[in-house]
Structure 1
């Protein structure tokens, strides 16, 4: 047979359309290889489909994709042993822009009630991405159909193409030869480069991809395999391949969903925060695949950021993409996948917390800082709250407790969960706001990080228990609980002494001036001489500090000072005040109490005056003590 060549005009405004495809549709030029491999995988799937339908077609030709680079000709060739094309199919599928052979084939399969879910291409333009890197493409193809001749398609991607009926023997399949542009030879002109691109984008295509006689895609797409067939060692190996983390994950989550969106997912919870130095915070996200082909590395829409410690992949059958596959088209479906995956992850964490508290403690230690940012996930509020852990006045500082742990220990008629922001457990023992809770043996959750305040403000309650800052706890609710008896309790003030104490408070306000809103007698303090509270009670001291930092406000807020009328220091001040209301000791002590309280609250910017005052008081006290010793 003599070779016959015909010229055909493209059936579209090819100059304009190819310019859009090549320069606007794809942002990453290496995508051309992914598209061609995906098309080759489609062709192999179609061939397998036809063999299943008619076993007589099975000619035992191995199903595979071969990629090679010819250094002399500067060409890349992608070949498959798939279904091939007839002349008419070539003209229809690649002679007409945006005609999707795969989409048409799926439609035909649907008409016969058969399935081709593994087909990748749906838009018929991926082939043209080859022109991003080439100025000429030659396609040689032979259909599986009996007596169909081999066809050659040649075009520079401008105005026309040539079709040649080849007078040569050829097995069914297709080869695409890409003549690289001069400026693309250095970038893509090596088999090592091609291997890297395939490993990145097409590593999980189900057919062997051969480059230089070596199979490149050796890792199995575990997420597509039945769970009961997979061993734990396989999960761990896949996790190491994905993350390069030498330690196995705390937990593995492998699930398939059919509705409302069909997808498979394989997720892992690392044992440690992989961002060791906090310098790589943006390095997170789930790898998004469509039918085993990577669409986006580290997609940040699959899970909320507070679950960004999760590593893994999601592979969907249903996700509509725009024609480049690089930009997600339908955010509604992405939202459904995100919602389902978030619930699955939180449920898995709940299961770990319930069945293996020790493992969950490892998780919390590694990922708590990130996880706490989920306080704004109102759709999953209950699941999120169940997973929170805190240090507590009832724990040993090593074991963290949940809200439910707290609720199990509440006193009868207690309907509040109390919390306090503290710098450390040692600071909590000095915190005047917590004295009444120690005296009444009421548990308090300790918050150490600024985000903890936002967590409590967002949640506000848990299982009908209000979350209440210890700083502003309702005294009437606390009074119903019995206080522990103290040794050497102060003698109650007489009516006259109470009036003098009120006068002392007024004097202290006079001394401190605008530094305090007022000075008043406390109904809560028992051990500390004083405490500071916001006069309006609108927000806790810690939240107030956070807001000041956010607003770059370094000023010291004006607080109300509550003084403990039963404290020995205040009783000594009272005795001196009764003798001489203007005694220097009253002023020194007032200022010292205020600055000590500011220091405990974290507001004291300049401690020099406080240190000098302490030295002055120690000097005087030392003199008084020495005189007493002489008398003894």
Structure 2
């Protein structure tokens, strides 16, 4: 039973207000009007080429397919003309007089119907109209952002009635159509915009050229501005890569990035599944400071059917591939009505996944086929690539591509992979050992390295602050753990024999302590803990030292000192950590302190020396919070030493 009194009604719109919204609220950048007019002209040319390829005969068959822009400053007019399919008076009324009526959308719908009918009849040929840009039917009205009057003069290229007509409007809700005079084009459409006083910038050649290069530089047809072509570069990413020369890739890269140097490498992608897109990605031949001034200047330019949608889109590639420069173009991008922003990013995530997979495959091939080229790439961009440890789905692949300096390499510039490290390790080793330091010289002075040199265990050198986070983030690689050398417990290396040359070179000057001496040494350790008080958690005998007198060690299970320092800086914490002071009881300095302790446990020199050991251990650990106090204690020690040497005083034996 029908609802009583129900009556369907049509929505109504206030045309003047709708036009005002379209021209003043939809777009955020006024130069977009030029992108929209060029896109419409390109669509008209594509439609004509498509129909001509289907044996239809357009008027003016010898006319070139092109777009021409002319500027008349005196009359304040901006004109854009194409030699495309053109429109009749009825089509002008239908397409321009009906808001949101898209001729391109209708063209594609008709084409789809024809294709379906052809497939049903056994014709499997699918026409290519992928260059058609228009969809919403509102882009044309953006011209009223800069114009207070617009005239569209059009001559159709097909059909029996090919008379030219003029559509005219002030963008306030009304328009007129009349027959064109002698100034009508032989074929195609001319849009003449009478520029507003507050938009005269678009009567400047440099301004128009800049807008075209920003948004429409890669349209498939030549664009002329006052007779000069301003889009000479083709959309190289859409060309078959087998026919593109190296010089073309380099020229495109320089035009895209303004980089004077040729790129180090190029990756040309044409993908159909699981998502359709084309991409041209370059590896620059120079370093970039992504941890400094270049922090926000990365991303891939995003195009939709050759029309620029967004510069430096950061969703297309992960941050660890930020060094790549290039473009991505897809026909399936879901845009909002203004084509300035994206409706959703599901498609971009899919493109991102494909790009990452392709890039990692490309780098793996480079690493396998040309080691020197890969090492050059690593020195340029390895610092940022290391951030790939955060890419959980690809962590194994990223880990295999990482490179480090290590104790097994003699050259400061030499690098090793994790797989190469594993191949050199003893059979029973299942840990990647690493140490953080500013350079190799600092590593050589690190007391924690002594036991590893003695055992002949290779250690990876981490010279960049980010390396600590890489190791912490990776956790494992092929079931091997990552551990800092300072976290090596007493029994961690017990299973490995000492190197023969290391055992011969180790200190033999100090004889082993007797039982009574060992008891005295234990008392010395207690005295040292008393002197240092709460500055250290414990003072104990070290099993890791061979040449150095002392070292600070993090309590069991604590983080490495270098990571601890980074976190303290991040949290603006300048307090000194409380660690364990380990001492080498066979070192001459500790044996001398033992003699002093046995002679007089309260000797002031013993306190100075204990504090001196702690100070030097702090310095080696990277802490020097009180340099003035440290200098004072060093001077006191020097004073006592000078007095002993000058007076010839002897310590009782």
TM-score (norm 2): 0.91
Q: Is the 8 A contact 1:12 1:96 kept in 2?
A: no
Of 130, 141, 145, 1:117 maps to 130
TM-superposed CA distance for 1:330, in Å, is: 2.0
Q: Are 2:424 and 1:409 equivalent residues in the alignment?
A: yes
User: Secondary structure of the residue that 1:140 maps to in structure 2?
Assistant: strand
> Which residue in the other structure is 1:83 paired with?
85
> Which residue in the other structure is 1:3 paired with?
none
Q: Are 2:108 and 1:106 equivalent residues in the alignment?
A: yes
Question: Structure 1 stretch 265-274 or stretch 612-621: which is displaced more?
Answer: 612-621
**Residues 481-492 of structure 1 mapped to structure 2, 5 A cutoff:** 481-484=496-499, 485-487=503-505, 488-489=507-508, 490-492=510-512
> Which residue in the other structure is 1:452 paired with?
467
Change (3 A) 1:328 1:92: same
Of 229, 246, 259, 2:273 maps to 259
> Which residue in the other structure is 1:560 paired with?
580
Per-residue CA deviation, residues 11-49 of structure 1 (Å, 9 max, x unaligned), is: 843222222222222111111101100110001000011
Q: Is the 8 A contact 1:556 1:604 kept in 2?
A: no
User: Secondary structure of the residue that 1:476 maps to in structure 2?
Assistant: coil
**Residues 544-559 of structure 1 mapped to structure 2, 5 A cutoff:** 544-559=564-579
**Residues 1-16 of structure 1 mapped to structure 2, 5 A cutoff:** 12-16=13-17
Q: Is the 8 A contact 1:142 1:150 kept in 2?
A: yes
TM-superposed CA distance for 1:536, in Å, is: 4.6
TM-superposed CA distance for 1:421, in Å, is: 1.0
Provide the rounded CA distance (Å) in 2 between the counterparts of 1:377 and 1:156.
54
Per-residue CA deviation, residues 414-445 of structure 1 (Å, 9 max, x unaligned), is: 01111111122111111111111111011111
Provide the rounded CA distance (Å) in 1 between the counterparts of 2:348 and 2:111.
27
TM-superposed CA distance for 1:87, in Å, is: 3.0
TM-superposed CA distance for 1:280, in Å, is: 4.0
Per-residue CA deviation, residues 166-205 of structure 1 (Å, 9 max, x unaligned), is: 36564331111111111111x1112332222212221111
> Which residue in the other structure is 1:329 paired with?
343
Q: Are 2:315 and 1:297 equivalent residues in the alignment?
A: no
Provide the rounded CA distance (Å) in 1 between the counterparts of 2:522 and 2:292.
53
TM-superposed CA distance for 1:560, in Å, is: 1.2
Q: Is the 8 A contact 2:76 2:203 kept in 1?
A: yes
Provide the rounded CA distance (Å) in 2 between the counterparts of 1:472 and 1:14.
75
Q: Are 2:68 and 1:66 equivalent residues in the alignment?
A: yes
Q: Is the 8 A contact 1:14 1:157 kept in 2?
A: no
Of 409, 414, 423, 1:399 maps to 414
| Count of residue pairs brought into register by the alignment | 620
**Residues 7-406 of structure 1 mapped to structure 2, 5 A cutoff:** 12-57=13-58, 59-113=61-115, 114-144=127-157, 145-166=159-180, 170-185=185-200, 187-274=201-288, 278-395=292-409, 396-406=411-421
Q: Are 2:444 and 1:429 equivalent residues in the alignment?
A: yes
Provide the rounded CA distance (Å) in 2 between the counterparts of 1:19 and 1:219.
36
Provide the rounded CA distance (Å) in 2 between the counterparts of 1:470 and 1:87.
82
Q: Is the 8 A contact 1:139 1:176 kept in 2?
A: yes
TM-superposed CA distance for 1:479, in Å, is: 0.6
> Which residue in the other structure is 1:4 paired with?
none
**Residues 578-589 of structure 1 mapped to structure 2, 5 A cutoff:** 578-589=598-609
Q: Is the 8 A contact 1:392 1:401 kept in 2?
A: yes
> Which residue in the other structure is 1:499 paired with?
519
> Which residue in the other structure is 2:492 paired with?
477
Provide the rounded CA distance (Å) in 1 between the counterparts of 2:431 and 2:289.
37
Provide the rounded CA distance (Å) in 1 between the counterparts of 2:110 and 2:548.
83
User: Secondary structure of the residue that 2:44 maps to in structure 1?
Assistant: helix
TM-superposed CA distance for 1:592, in Å, is: 0.3
Unaligned ranges ≥5, structure 1 = 1-9
TM-superposed CA distance for 1:598, in Å, is: 0.5
TM-superposed CA distance for 1:278, in Å, is: 4.6
Provide the rounded CA distance (Å) in 2 between the counterparts of 1:274 and 1:403.
25
Cα RMSD, aligned residues only? 2.1
Q: Is the 8 A contact 1:68 1:191 kept in 2?
A: no
Change (3 A) 1:589 1:275: closer
User: Secondary structure of the residue that 1:330 maps to in structure 2?
Assistant: coil
Q: Are 2:626 and 1:606 equivalent residues in the alignment?
A: yes
User: Secondary structure of the residue that 2:491 maps to in structure 1?
Assistant: helix
User: Secondary structure of the residue that 2:78 maps to in structure 1?
Assistant: strand
> Which residue in the other structure is 2:545 paired with?
525
Q: Is the 8 A contact 2:20 2:172 kept in 1?
A: no
Q: Are 2:554 and 1:534 equivalent residues in the alignment?
A: yes
Per-residue CA deviation, residues 78-113 of structure 1 (Å, 9 max, x unaligned), is: 111111123332233222222222122112112222
Of 505, 508, 521, 2:528 maps to 508
Provide the rounded CA distance (Å) in 1 between the counterparts of 2:225 and 2:292.
39
Provide the rounded CA distance (Å) in 1 between the counterparts of 2:181 and 2:527.
112
TM-superposed CA distance for 1:249, in Å, is: 1.1
Provide the rounded CA distance (Å) in 1 between the counterparts of 2:282 and 2:221.
26
TM-score (norm 1): 0.94
Provide the rounded CA distance (Å) in 1 between the counterparts of 2:445 and 2:291.
33
Q: Is the 8 A contact 1:204 1:220 kept in 2?
A: yes
Provide the rounded CA distance (Å) in 1 between the counterparts of 2:261 and 2:187.
46
Q: Is the 8 A contact 1:271 1:362 kept in 2?
A: no
User: Secondary structure of the residue that 2:25 maps to in structure 1?
Assistant: helix
TM-superposed CA distance for 1:275, in Å, is: 5.3
> Which residue in the other structure is 2:5 paired with?
none
> Which residue in the other structure is 1:5 paired with?
none
Provide the rounded CA distance (Å) in 2 between the counterparts of 1:121 and 1:409.
61
Change (3 A) 1:572 1:170: closer
